[in-house]
Structure 1
Amino acid sequence: MRSLWVLCIFALVLTGVAHDDQKYDIGEHVPLFVDNLVPFNNPQESYRYFTLKFCKPDPLHHKSQTLGEVLQGSEKVYSGYDLRFRRDVRPARELCKASLNAEDISRFRHAIQNQYHFTWYYDEIPIKGMIGDMDHNDNCYLYTQHDFQFEYNGDRVIDARVITDAAHRVKLPEDATQLDVSFTYSSTWKDTDVVFDDRAANNANELYQEEIEIQWFSIVNSFVLVLLLTGFLAFIVMRILKKDYQRYTSLDEEEDQDETGWKLLHADVFRFPANKTLFASIIGTGLQLLMIFFIILTLSVVGVFYAYGRGTMYAAIIVVYSLTAVAAGYSSAAFYRKIEGTNWVRNVLTTVTLFALPAFLVWSVLNTVAIFYSSTVALPFGTIIALFALYFLVTFPLTLAGAIAGKNFGGSLDAPCRTKLAPREIPPAPWYRGPIVHVAVAGFLPFSAIYVELYYVFISLWGHQLFTPYGILYLVFVILLMVTACITVSLTYLQLSMENHEWWWTALTSGGATSFFIYAYCFYFLYSESKMSGFFQVSYYFGYMLLICYALFLMLGTVGFLCSFVFVKQIYRSIKCD
């Protein structure tokens, strides 16, 4: 456990999670940084601020970026605003005069029609605002004055906002070829009792109370489902063990075999699965992803990440992924040893690329799309080289080191029954007990337990609403794991009762089946709950959701199999095996 938190602290140091803790003197200049322009309905489709003809400093000075800011597509540039700590700007002051030609006007009109909004940063506090608005006749208006409202406590900035109104805007005629615009600004400062340590929570977007109530009501329902499933499973196990002890005290073995089909599989139930290398790699990678998820979510729950630092979280995920590669290598190799695998080189290569390679392919396609659209979310060449260096100099060596340790210290399978050389023939089963129905049931029940919460998760990932109650997300994921484990174990028992000993891959696929339903939900959310549009945004949406669902498949599949494995070993320990 201590090593786990050492990894967390190291990751946070590398990603620069700590936000600015700046103190200012009265009258000291506090720089305002302008960031990207983003269509309101397409939050991943960000563009450089000065693609529109705002007041542009000469020369441009970019703020140094952290890895998280680069991953988020942020590109902060010093603005020309002269805003000083606790000094009001009254009356409004002119920033610059701009002469717009037909192309400039057309770009502004397009941005206003698509509800582009800007993001500025003042002492690392994000300030969001709209470029302009439209009236009921679809006339476009550009806001020309920004009124800043600041709050302070002692020598620190607590809050920052910008106000725009219809009194300070200019009409952008569709057929205009020339337009002169004067951009102005003002500022006011107000004292507040909010302390600096609470400013992130004070500024964070909060969910509506009725939405919180819906979430907690759904979580209560989910916990009831978990209790019912757990009780059902416990009833099955106790009933099995009770009958085992009763029947195996008698000498009538033939009657025992006629009544209980799963006992007939004691010589085949621990027969190793096909494609041992891939199977062991899935187990190792799934455990690694589970570790990453709980590390990041735990740090979010305790408030380590700055409320607006979503990019910092992205960077932390990448660094923690690299550092936990040793766990993936060890888990994969240890399990590979248990199932008597022999191709260790293939095991290491499969483990280190099982998630990284699909992630690279998805990113390559989407990064190409971003470059084509000249979006800021396209990673610069230097960052790409740094990520490759992190992978080959940290991730791969740690995976190899973990695999060596797993190979040498992994232990044996310790199966309670010996496996015969010739596999037992599997009797035919009706269609409703086939693998497709099996997997469908295994995926649908856990999905139904988290269906309501998915909406809030999706609007956080693909909208502008920040999902602040990470504790709810934590509970939802725990519920998902518990329901997945219960359902997979129950279905594994049913499969063994039908004298089908090929349960290894079925248990793994059944555990991960929920990810298929979540990806299907992506289509419903896009067309029914969101207003995302355009090839750029839709490709990002489906591409990264495919990657997220793939990660969920690996995690849930691992949980489903390992729980089934423990269950199978336990029930076969209770019977007499030759």
Structure 2
Amino acid sequence: MYYAHFFLLLVSQIIQICSDRLTHIYKAKDEVILFYNTLSPYHNRQETYPYFDFPFCHAIKTDDEHEQYYAQSFAEKLEGYDLEPSGMHIHFTENIPTKLVCQIKDLNEKDYKQFVKAILQNFWYQMYLDDLPIWGIVGEKDEYRNFYLWTHKKFDIGYNKDRIVDVNLTSENRFHILPGKDINFTYEVNWKKSDIEFEDRFTKYLDHAFFQHRIHWFSIFNSFMMVVFLVGLVSMILMRTLRKDYARYSKDDDLDDLEKDLGDEYGWKQIHGDVFRSVRHNTLFSSLIGSGFQLSCACFFLILFAILGELYTERASLLSTAIFLYSITSPLNGYVGTSLYTRFGGKKWVRQMIFSTFLFPSLVCGTAFFINFFSIYYHASKSIPFVSMLAVASICIFVIFPLNIIGAVLGKNISGQPHYPCRINAVPRPIPEKKWFMEPIFVITIGGILPFGSIFIEMYFVFTSFWAYKIYYVYGFMLLVLLILAVVIVCVTIVSTYFLLNAEDYRWQWTSFLTGSSTAGYVYLYAIYYYFFKTKMYGLFQTTFYFFYMFLFCAGLGIMCGSFAFLGTTAFVYKIYSTVKID
């Protein structure tokens, strides 16, 4: 009976602790657990190390103290969070005067050098109290190259009724460190009532002056006006030009064969028998379009969730939501990719479906696992555990793959049959010579300039929030920029495709896709500029981390932009060839 009561009491305590962390509701003298997270150089934010990898001492434990654990989520492990209980005893609304946390006795030479390294590189540490982030600096040096640690942590915690709404950390007691010295680490806690509402407690972390600067608003307005101008210009030019083309082709239809032979026939109508010919590398092309459509939908819904749910208030919630959305949108990949593949005459649709399923996940996992070797070598907290790798593989195999199969089967049977407005010639028509500026390589190269111009200001804010100490929260701006980008890409690609078809070059499918994708190439060039001129990053680990993850970001952006371009251009090509009488 005694053991049963003890078990029930233990379970109730565990439930109480979990409910406090999940609901953020506390009663007087309830324990509030303070977690250490990671250490990182100020200018290398992504280069993070577990706090206790450095020679900080662990808190002194009493005999009756129970162990505190934190079960990290899957997304937190992927993002490199490494939460460890601080051992500081903090209770709701209970002030604590200066109290000893732990002591380093007789600092040895090795630990001294590690502290010096952290001070020279301006290391900061991160902590969490009730999911509110706290940052503090390790130490500093003076002009005489004396090194100091901040050994006292003063916490000022604001509360509104039964919830914590504000935390401030003041680092005090600058202690001169030398080998052989003893170091005492202390803390104090002061509670005060606050008028801040619980829903607004993250507001102080948001840099409104930075993200809502006039330049940001002006760039959005400028991009919007460019879209209006571009859509109007494209509509006017194409409609007038196409009207002339229709009139000329209508006149040509009234001529007999001899008059046609003597006439000067040219233009996009002449390649009607080849314009819907199957593309080269059909498996790769259809897989890219399917993956791009899936990524576009997943990103669109992710931004909507971020706008409505304020995902920045929970650790790793953006990544976990992104994984969930990418998984459940997998049928779109199978449907679009396989239906496109079979319409182009592909027979091995199962192989295409498998390739399409693992195309982008393999790119992500390959990049992450490669960088993981550097993380393991540097003992960084960004290293992904083997169990997490297996979890990612399991999601791909047991969730994404079956959903993709469902979409592929539906796509093959519902819209897998070709329904072109023109018959396809048995023998391909030779492509005539044309001027250098009408070659696909030139069209692709210049096609990404205008779309990049519509988003490069937003790229600065995105890069700064990811690679510096900013929390990105203006997802409404991001949604508007994404829509602007899609419209600009479609307009630019339609114009490029029209001139290409008018030059009797029917290789428009790959050209349209690569024209849209070239936007990502300019983004990567901007990322190179940003690294060298806008950051102070250094070291092999951070450089590798930056350029490989930027490559991954640009690859995903390129696949998305290419799918925008192809889908918009496809509608245009179908429209113009379905309105012309073809003999």
Fold shared per TM-score above 0.5:
yes
Letter in 1 for 2:138: I
Residues 505-520 of structure 1 aligned to structure 2 (within 5 Å):
505-520=510-525
- 1:413 Cα offset (Å): 3.3
Q: Tell me if the contact between 1:62 and 1:75 (Cα under 8 Å) persists in the aligned partners.
A: no
1:350–1:301 distance in 2 versus 1, CA, 3 Å? same
- Which of residues 162, 166, 176 is equivalent to 1:159? 166
* Matches for 1:48-447 after TM superposition, within 5 Å: 48-57=50-59, 61-90=68-97, 92-99=98-105, 100-165=107-172, 168-172=173-177, 176-200=178-202, 202-208=203-209, 212-250=213-251, 251-252=254-255, 254=260, 258=264, 260-309=266-315, 311-447=316-452
Q: Which residue does the alignment assign to 1:13? A: none
Paired with 1:410 and 1:376, the residues of 2 have a C-alpha distance of 47
C-alpha distance in 1, partners of 2:79/2:355? 29
| Residue 210 of structure 1: how far off its partner (Å) | 8.0
1:209/1:49 CA distance change after superposition, 3 Å: closer
Cα separation, partners in 2 of 1:152 and 1:521, compared to 1, 3 Å: same
Shift of 1:214: 0.5
Partner SS for 1:258: coil
Alignment check: 8 A CA contact 1:19 1:306 kept = no
AA partner of residue 240 (structure 2): R
Q: Which amino acid aligns with 1:223?
A: F
**Residues 39, 256 of structure 1: CA spacing in aligned structure 2 closer, same or farther, 3 A cutoff?**
farther
The aligned counterpart of 1:4 is none
3-state SS of the aligned residue for 1:355? helix
User: Aligned partners of 2:195, 2:393: CA distance in 1, in Å?
Assistant: 47
Shift of 1:231: 1.2
**Aligned residue in 1 for 2:45:** 43
Q: Give the drift of 1:402.
A: 1.4
**SS in structure 1 opposite 2:375?**
helix
CA distance in 2, matches of 1:480, 1:498: 27
Q: CA deviation at 1:414?
A: 2.1
CA contact (8 A) 2:59 2:102 kept: no
Higher relative contact order at CA 8 Å, sep ≥6: structure 1 or structure 2? 1
What residue number does 1:12 align with? none
Question: Can you list the C-alpha shifts for 1:46-81, whole angstroms capped at 9, x where unaligned?
Answer: 111112232303787541111121111111111121
Amino acid in structure 1 at the alignment position of 2:567: L
Q: How far apart are residue 527 of structure 1 and its match? A: 0.4
Query: Displacement of 1:304 after TM fit?
Result: 4.3
CA contact (8 A) 1:333 1:410 kept: no
Distance in structure 2 (CA, Å) of the matches to 1:225 and 1:178: 66
8 Å Cα contact 1:325/1:398 also seen in 2: yes
What secondary structure, in the 3-state scheme, does the structure 2 residue paired with 1:220 have?
helix
Q: Distance in 2 between matches of 1:81 and 1:352?
A: 48
Structure 2 counterpart of 1:562: 567
Contact 1:67 1:312 survives alignment (8 Å): no
Query: 54-63 vs 492-501, which deviates more?
Result: 54-63
Does the 8 A contact of 2:290 with 2:334 survive in 1?
A: yes
Deviation at 1:369, TM superposition (A): 0.8
Paired residues of 1:332 and 1:351 also in contact (CA < 8 A):
yes
How big is each residue's C-alpha offset from its partner over 1:315-349, in whole Å with a ceiling of 9 and x where there is no partner?
A: 22223222222211111111112212111122112
Structure 2 spans left out of the alignment, 5+ residues: 1-17, 62-66
TM-score by length of 1: 0.92
Q: CA deviation at 1:247?
A: 3.3
C-alpha deviations, 1:278-334, integer Å up to 9, x for none? Answer: 11111111101111111111100112414252x221122223222222211111111
After superposition, give the CA deviation of every residue in 1:119-151 in whole Å (9 maximum; x if it has no partner).
Answer: 111111111111112334443210011110111
Letter in 1 for 2:59: P
Contact 2:211 2:474 in 1 (8 A): no
Distance 1:255 1:125 in 2: 78
Q: Percent identity?
A: 35
Partners of 2:227 and 2:485 lie apart in 1 by 9
Instruction: Give the distance between the partners of 1:401 and 1:132, measured in 2 at CA.
Output: 57
Question: What is the root-mean-square deviation of aligned Cα atoms in Å?
Answer: 2.1
Contact 1:247/1:256, CA 8 A, preserved across alignment: no
- 1:240 to 1:570, Cα distance in 2 relative to 1, 3 A: farther
1:442–1:511 CA contact under 8 A, matched in 2:
yes
- Amino acid across the alignment from 2:110: E
Task: Look up the SS of the partner of 2:72 in the other structure.
Answer: coil
Q: Is the 8 A contact 1:257 1:264 kept in 2?
A: no
1:385 deviates by: 1.6
- Aligned AA for 1:144? T
Please say which of residues 503-512 and 19-28 is displaced more in the overlay: 19-28
Deviation at 1:575, TM superposition (A): 1.4
* Greater alpha carbon shift after TM alignment, 215-224 vs 299-308: 299-308
Tell whether the 8 Å contact from 2:60 to 2:102 is kept in structure 1 after alignment.
no
Give 3-state SS (helix, strand or coil) of 2:264's partner.
Answer: helix
Matched, 1:23 2:41: no
Change (3 A) 1:210 1:394: closer
